[in-house]
Amino acid sequence: CRCCAEGRRHGSILYSILRSEERAVPPAGPAPRGCPCGSRRRVALRSPQVACKAASAVLVKTLRFVQNVPCFQELPLEEQLLLVRSCWAPLLLLGLAQDRVHLETVESAEPSMLQRILTARQQGEQPPPRAPAAGRPHHGPHPPSAGDIQAIKGFLAKCWSLDISTKEYAYLKGTVLFNPDLPGLQCTQYIEGLQREAQQALNEHVRLIHRGDEARFAKLNVVLSLLRSINANVVAELFFRPIIGAVNMDDMLLEMLCAKL
């Protein structure tokens, strides 16, 4: 397709765009370790309005960043939507890490599984279904558990402990954005080339700036693997459900992507 034919010409443009951000992120301490026994407790944001406002601002900045990549704009609109729908959550989390957005949570006042089972039996009802195991997709509104929040906090702490630079964040975002493995894509070779170039640019930057840390490139790829373990539905429920209610995230992303941010 036309996109694949122009891949090499726009590769250099991607390299220059991904190098454009100039804000450094100071390091943070290691992630707090919690008891795995309570990983399924329901938690909520301590100040949901503050956290949701911060997340919304980061989402706007994230989509503006995406729109400013000429290589992305060369793709058909359908391809752009496929990419954004699949990666908005990891891109948002990278933005939250870059802007040092901290999460303060409190345990929800929700009855335990035992309490619900006993209550249901006393009332002659069926016991409530078990909570989904970690890693399984969430279907419909589902309050984030302590384990879900722990995964997000662990990711943020990992980024801060590595003191990831602005350019490294940009290259990581490029790697996440240009995912050639999504079903339905037509310009797979073009997108694969852009992802490969983002990874190469990250590797070259690390070798130039962190010459004494030969494992840094591998550590940054660990950040990407942590991202893949966080469910997008959890991110939506945590940061956007309190403000958009039943509005579909796909609809909101489409509206924001087509708007001039």
Q: What is the pLDDT of residue 16?
A: 53
- Give the N- to C-terminal CA distance of the chain in Å, as an integer: 29
Flag whether 153 is in a domain: yes
Flag whether 33 is in a domain: no
Chain segment 92-123, per-residue pLDDT in tens? 999 999 999 988 877 765 555 565 566 566 55
Which tokens is 249 given?
């995230």
Flag whether 185 is in a domain: yes
Q: What is the pLDDT of residue 85?
A: 92
Residue 51 dihedral angles phi and psi, to the nearest 5°? -65, -40
Measured between alpha carbons, how far is 72 from 98 in angstroms, rounded to an integer? Answer: 22
Flag whether 68 is in a domain: yes
Domain that holds residue 232: 44-107+142-259
Question: Which of 8, 236, 67 has the alpha carbon at shortest distance from 140?
Answer: 236
Flag whether 18 is in a domain: no
> How many folded domains does the chain comprise?
1
Q: What is the pLDDT of residue 25?
A: 38
CATH of the domain at 95: 1.10.565.10
Measured between alpha carbons, how far is 259 from 261 in angstroms, rounded to an integer? Answer: 6
Low-confidence ranges of the chain (pLDDT < 70): 1-43, 108-142, 246-247, 260-261
Q: What is the pLDDT of residue 27?
A: 41
Flag whether 235 is in a domain: yes
Flag whether 214 is in a domain: yes
